[in-house]
């Protein structure tokens, strides 16, 4: 009787374990650590985890001794050989002589494998005859990534920009690189290349064509001897390129200051252009330059500005005429001569005139009386400015004095 009572007491003291499924930790593409808590309930207890890709599980970890205590015990197991980017179910199972306890179903998802960066080549910008800016979009996909551009005159490329750091973000960022030393009028191909620990990605091939570059500029002035206060026109052409922006520049006597831009136009598709030069007061150097990355200059043409000579007459007593007029600009040291045209048409010196001040911008001259001849005679006044080269000699209109 006493032995039977002892056996019954021992059986009554046994209790089934408890099991609580915890979380998953250290989840990678192919492994994870699963956790939980159990209480042996005072009897020798083991635990294991059931796991699989559904709540039917199908796989178990090896049994682990949890002891026979009456306090909670932590449970942990590492699952390996898992499939990446896959959802797994798991639960903790505790077993002793009094029964089996199963924790609730929990899930985790294995990580996706590291992916190479994504990259897309974008259109080139700032394309000139000698250079361009290459553009692309790069997504590092959370891995440290660098990139460069390959470029060349075929899809074999052959040249590359320096490597540049993109970062390790998870969104697309814009990148660019400037290239130079290109050939004008040439088609170029390029693509973007990104590299990370997960691999290399290459963008699609894109292309651009550099515009033609000017090789020369020719100009033709409407006159190279404008009169003081008048302008001129310049016709020109750009060779080697069509619609090219050009600028007209001038440098006034005494040519100590740099050239100054006075007008701009764009040559037409055939390279032709025209400029109107405003009124000139001093002898001036003129040239046209292309407004391109590498400027091309025309030869310099000199507009030799002639003194402006007015002429009026005053009839005196008898058969005499006095000739006088204004001179632009003021020429205090100027020399005035009256020329007469011979019967053969040649002009020759006839007599000298005198110069005096008129105002700040003008001088005046006077020539003593001219007698009428037995035939109508042509006269003209020539002024030599003698102002250091600022103006070249000017000539008045022709005056015909009728015969007496």
Shared-domain flag, residues 246 and 315: no
Whether residue 164 is predicted with pLDDT greater than 80 in this model: the reply is yes
Shared-domain flag, residues 6 and 105: yes
Whether residue 318 is predicted with pLDDT greater than 80 in this model: the reply is no
Shared-domain flag, residues 393 and 338: yes
Q: Among candidates 214, 222, 264, 204, which has minimal Cα distance to 238?
A: 214
Shared-domain flag, residues 65 and 47: yes
Q: What is the pLDDT of residue 14?
A: 67
Question: Of 155, 188, 209, which residue constitutes the final position of a domain?
Answer: 209
Q: Is 6 strand, coil or helix?
A: helix
Q: What is the pLDDT of residue 4?
A: 44
Shared-domain flag, residues 227 and 278: yes
Q: What is the pLDDT of residue 302?
A: 98
* pLDDT band of 62, cuts 50, 70, 90: very high
Question: Of 184, 209, 234, which residue constitutes the final position of a domain?
Answer: 209
Q: What is the pLDDT of residue 190?
A: 98
Q: Which residues pair with 216 in a beta bridge?
A: 239
Domain of 365, CATH number, reads: 2.60.40.10
Q: What is the pLDDT of residue 28?
A: 92
Whether residue 404 is predicted with pLDDT greater than 80 in this model: the reply is no
Shared-domain flag, residues 381 and 336: yes
Q: What is the pLDDT of residue 276?
A: 97
Q: Are strands 159-160 and 106-109 parallel, antiparallel or unpaired?
A: unpaired
Shared-domain flag, residues 98 and 128: no
Q: Among candidates 230, 219, 235, 233, which has minimal Cα distance to 301?
A: 219
Question: Of 209, 225, 257, which residue constitutes the final position of a domain?
Answer: 209
Q: Which residues span the domain enclosing 257?
A: 216-303
Q: Cβ(95)–Cβ(50) under 8 Å?
A: no
- Please tell me the number of Cα atoms within 13 Å of 285 on its side-chain side: 14
Shared-domain flag, residues 63 and 38: yes
Shared-domain flag, residues 262 and 249: yes
141-158 average pLDDT score: 96
Q: What is the pLDDT of residues 243-283, one digit of tens each?
A: 899 999 999 999 999 999 999 999 999 999 999 999 999 99
* pLDDT band of 8, cuts 50, 70, 90: very low
Shared-domain flag, residues 335 and 392: yes
Query: What residues contact residue 61 under an 8 Å CB cut-off, 6+ apart?
Result: 48, 49, 51, 77, 79
Q: Are strands 32-39 and 73-79 parallel, antiparallel or unpaired?
A: antiparallel
Shared-domain flag, residues 262 and 172: no
Distance CA 374, CA 365 (A): 27
Q: What is the pLDDT of residues 186-204, one digit of tens each?
A: 999 999 999 999 999 999 9
Q: What is the DSSP string of 240-285?
A: S-SS-EEEEEEEETT--SPPEEEEEEE--TTSEEEEEE---SS-EE
Q: What is the pLDDT of residues 22-57, one digit of tens each?
A: 999 999 989 999 999 999 999 999 999 999 999 999
Range name among 53-57, 63-67, 71-75, 111-115 with the lowest pLDDT average: 111-115
The number of distinct structural domains making up the chain is 4
Shared-domain flag, residues 277 and 341: no
Mean pLDDT computed over every residue of the chain: 93
Q: What is the pLDDT of residues 356-403, one digit of tens each?
A: 999 999 999 999 888 877 788 999 999 999 999 999 999 999 999 888
């Amino acid at each position: 009787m006493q032995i039977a009572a002892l056996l019954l007491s021992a059986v009554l003291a046994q209790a089934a374990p408890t099991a609580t499924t915890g979380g998953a930790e250290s989840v990678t593409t192919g492994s994870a650590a699963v956790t939980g808590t159990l209480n042996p309930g005072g009897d020798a207890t083991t635990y294991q985890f059931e796991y699989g890709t559904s709540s039917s599980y199908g796989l178990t970890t090896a049994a682990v001794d949890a002891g026979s205590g009456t306090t909670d015990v932590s449970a942990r197991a590492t699952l390996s050989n898992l499939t990446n980017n896959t959802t797994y179910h798991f639960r903790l199972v505790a077993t002793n002589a009094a029964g089996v306890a199963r924790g609730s179903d929990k899930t985790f998802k294995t990580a996706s494998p590291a992916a190479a960066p994504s990259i897309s080549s974008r259109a080139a910008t700032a394309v000139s005859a000698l250079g361009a800016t290459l553009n692309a979009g790069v997504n590092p996909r959370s891995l440290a990534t660098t990139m460069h551009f390959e470029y060349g005159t075929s899809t074999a490329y052959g040249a590359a920009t320096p490597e540049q750091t993109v970062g390790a973000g998870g969104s697309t960022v814009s990148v660019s690189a400037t290239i130079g030393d290109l050939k004008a009028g040439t088609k170029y191909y390029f693509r973007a290349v990104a590299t990370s620990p997960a691999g290399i990605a290459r963008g699609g091939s894109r292309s651009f064509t550099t515009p033609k570059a000017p090789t020369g500029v020719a100009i033709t002035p409407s006159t190279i001897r404008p009169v003081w206060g008048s302008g001129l026109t310049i016709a020109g052409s750009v060779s080697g390129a069509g619609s090219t922006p050009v600028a007209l520049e001038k440098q006034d006597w005494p040519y100590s200051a740099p050239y100054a831009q006075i007008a701009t136009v764009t040559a037409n598709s055939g390279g032709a252009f025209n400029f109107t030069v405003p009124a000139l007061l001093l002898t001036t150097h003129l040239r046209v330059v292309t407004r391109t990355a590498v400027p091309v200059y025309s030869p310099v043409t000199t507009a030799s500005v002639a003194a402006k000579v007015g002429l009026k007459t005053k009839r005196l007593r008898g058969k005499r005429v006095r000739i006088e007029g204004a001179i632009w600009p003021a020429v205090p040291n100027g020399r005035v001569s009256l020329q007469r045209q011979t019967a053969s048409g040649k002009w020759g010196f006839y007599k000298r005139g005198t110069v005096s001040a008129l105002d700040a911008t003008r001088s005046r001259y006077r020539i003593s009386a001219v007698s009428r001849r037995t035939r109508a005679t042509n006269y003209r006044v020539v002024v030599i400015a003698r102002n250091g080269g600022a103006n070249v000699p000017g000539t008045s209109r022709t005056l015909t004095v009728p015969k007496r």
